[in-house]
Amino acid sequence: MSETEPTTTDAPEPSRRPGRERGRDDGKFGRYGGQFVPEALMPAIEELTDAYERYVLGNEDGFMDEFRERLADFGGRPTPLQRADRLSERYGREIYLKREDLLHGGAHKLNNALGQVLLAKYMGKERIVAETGAGQHGTATAMAAAHLDMPCEIYMGERDINRQRPNVFRMKLNGAEVNPVTAGRGTLKEAISETMRDWATTVENTHYVIGSVVGPHPFPVMVRDFQAVISEEARAQAIETTGELPTDVVACAGGGSNTMGSFAGFVDDDGVALHAIEAGGSTLEVDEEAGVAPNSASLFAGEEGVLHGARTKLLQDSHGQIMESHSVSSGLDYAGVGPELAYLVDEGRVTPVAVDDDAALEGFHRLSNTEGIIPALETAHAFGYLEEHAEDLGERVVVTVSGRGDKDLDAAIEETDKRDVPGAPEMSMFTGGI
Q: How far apart are CA 249 and CA 399, in angstroms?
A: 6
Q: Check binding of 264 to ligand PLP (CB under 6 A).
A: no
Nearer to ligand PLP, 195 or 200 (CB): 195
Q: Check binding of 332 to ligand PLP (CB under 6 A).
A: yes
Active site residue 69: no
Active site residue 313: no
DSSP lists the bridge partners of residue 156 as 132, 180
Q: Check binding of 79 to ligand PLP (CB under 6 A).
A: no
Q: Which of residues 203-242 bind ligand PLP (CB under 6 A)?
A: 212
Nearer to ligand PLP, 203 or 345 (CB): 345
Q: Check binding of 296 to ligand PLP (CB under 6 A).
A: no
DSSP track, 214-245: -SSTTHHHHHHHHHTHHHHHHHHHHHHHHSS-
Going by C-alpha positions, the residue among 254, 342, 250, 344 that lies closest to residue 297 is 254
Q: Check binding of 376 to ligand PLP (CB under 6 A).
A: yes
- Evaluate whether 418 touches 428 at the Cβ level (below 8 Å): no
What SS3 class is residue 314? strand
- Shortest spacing between CB 201 and ligand PLP, in angstroms: 27
Select from 331, 336, 339, 384 the one that contacts ligand PLP (CB under 6 A).
Answer: 331
Going by C-alpha positions, the residue among 133, 120, 112, 98 that lies closest to residue 331 is 133
Nearer to ligand PLP, 94 or 100 (CB): 100
Nearer to ligand PLP, 15 or 296 (CB): 296
Select from 206, 325, 402, 416 the one that contacts ligand PLP (CB under 6 A).
Answer: 402
* Interacting residues of 76 by C-beta distance below 8 A, sequence separation 6+: 102, 103, 104
Q: What residue is closest to ligand PLP based on CB?
A: 403
Q: How far apart are CA 58 and CA 198, in angstroms?
A: 29
Q: Check binding of 109 to ligand PLP (CB under 6 A).
A: yes
Nearer to ligand PLP, 237 or 379 (CB): 379
Angle formed at CA 118 by CA 25 and CA 268, multiple of 5 degrees: 45
- Evaluate whether 45 touches 39 at the Cβ level (below 8 Å): no
Q: Check binding of 279 to ligand PLP (CB under 6 A).
A: no
Q: Check binding of 363 to ligand PLP (CB under 6 A).
A: no
Q: Which stretch binds ligand PLP (CB under 6 A): 46-54, 283-291, 345-353, 372-380?
A: 372-380
Q: Check binding of 379 to ligand PLP (CB under 6 A).
A: yes
Q: How far apart are CA 14 and CA 263, in angstroms?
A: 12
Q: How far apart are CA 327 and CA 31, in angstroms?
A: 27
Q: How far apart are CA 250 and CA 134, in angstroms?
A: 24
Q: Which stretch binds ligand PLP (CB under 6 A): 21-29, 70-78, 252-260, 286-294?
A: 252-260
Active site residue 121: no
Q: Check binding of 156 to ligand PLP (CB under 6 A).
A: no
What SS3 class is residue 254? coil
Nearer to ligand PLP, 239 or 330 (CB): 330
Catalytically annotated residues: 109, 131, 402
Catalog residues that contact ligand PLP under the rule CB under 6 A.
107, 109, 136, 212, 252-258, 331-332, 376, 378-379, 402-403
